[in-house]
């Protein structure tokens, strides 16, 4: 891949072959092994500021991998409660800027009015779902309980983590990204999204699924990160009733999963797993 950069370090590299933003860069590094130094080329993930704008007004700036940004925009809008359905997003334009990338969205008027009433400054760290919330009520939302939901066997859940590795090409190249994958009701991994931020990866997955009019109750979110409160909150907001994570949840995430009837698994590894909340969907 041939890439070019502007003089601004915040500007993403451009893949000269495709004209799209590069998701990784090649850098020279000194690698030390057994006390010996070797200068080699390494592959590192790109991370750029992504400004989300609604009807001409800037709402949030997130640090993210510059790929699948249309999915990210829709997913973020749904999981943050800005939109109630994909049809309320009328336009989405990806605009390169000297400091990063602008995602310019036009949404339904009533949704924009509601957004202005609860507007918050969310500029923050990588994929930070709560940065800048002005009140405790804004930070700790309580989605409605998930209705119904597909069930899965232990074997299907463990197999899903093996299957999703095929779609983690950026992680395999850089070792720096999280992934969120969708397991359908038949136990198959049908979609994977990656990002340097775990919340972003889940938002990208949800946005892509929403665009395809996926029934969120008929599947599971498989994530290669810890299950934080925000991850459970985002999933429950759109009606996902099953989350399996490779690492631990937080106590607040467990309480929210119980409250919203989300089956929550953590520490899913080859040797086993832990069920933290609502085990009735696990067969």
For the annotated catalytic residues, the residue numbers are 128
Alpha carbons 237 and 232: distance in angstroms, whole number: 8
Beta bridge partners of 92: 105
* Distance linking the first and last C-alpha atoms of the chain: 45
Alpha carbons 263 and 94: distance in angstroms, whole number: 35
Q: Of 268, 26, 237, 226, nearest to 141 (Cα)?
A: 237
Q: Where are the beta strands (DSSP E) in 73-188?
A: 89-96, 101-107, 178-184
Beta bridge partners of 49: 63
Instruction: Give Cβ neighbours of residue 215 (< 8 Å, ≥ 6 apart).
Output: none
Give the phi and the psi of residue 57 in degrees, each rounded to 5. Answer: -110, 130
Alpha carbons 238 and 215: distance in angstroms, whole number: 9
């Amino acid at each position: 891949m041939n890439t070019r950069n502007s003089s601004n370090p915040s500007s993403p590299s451009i893949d000269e072959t495709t004209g799209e933003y590069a998701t990784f860069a090649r850098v020279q590094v000194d690698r030390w092994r057994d006390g010996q130094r070797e200068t080699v080329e390494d592959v590192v993930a790109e991370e750029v500021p992504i400004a989300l704008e609604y009807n001409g007004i800037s709402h949030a700036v997130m640090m993210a991998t510059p790929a699948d940004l249309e999915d990210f925009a829709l997913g973020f809008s749904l999981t943050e409660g800005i939109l109630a359905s994909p049809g309320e997003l009328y336009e989405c334009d990806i605009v390169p800027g000297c400091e990063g990338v602008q995602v310019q969205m036009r949404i339904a008027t009533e949704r924009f009015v509601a957004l202005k009433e609860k507007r918050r400054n969310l500029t923050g760290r990588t994929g930070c779902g709560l940065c800048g919330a002005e009140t405790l009520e804004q930070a700790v939302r309580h989605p409605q309980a998930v209705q119904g939901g597909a069930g899965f066997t232990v074997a299907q859940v463990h197999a899903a983590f093996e299957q999703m590795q095929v779609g983690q090409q950026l992680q395999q190249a850089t070792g720096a990204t999280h992934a969120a994958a969708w397991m359908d009701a038949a136990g198959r991994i049908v979609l994977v999204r990656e990002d340097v931020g775990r919340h972003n990866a889940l938002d990208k997955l949800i946005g892509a699924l929403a665009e395809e009019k996926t029934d969120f109750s008929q599947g599971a979110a498989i994530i290669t990160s810890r299950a934080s409160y925000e991850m459970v909150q985002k999933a429950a907001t759109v009606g996902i009733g099953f989350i399996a994570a490779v690492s631990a949840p937080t106590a607040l995430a467990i309480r929210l999963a119980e409250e919203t009837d989300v089956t929550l698994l953590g520490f899913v590894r080859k040797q086993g797993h832990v069920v933290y909340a609502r085990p009735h969907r696990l067969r």
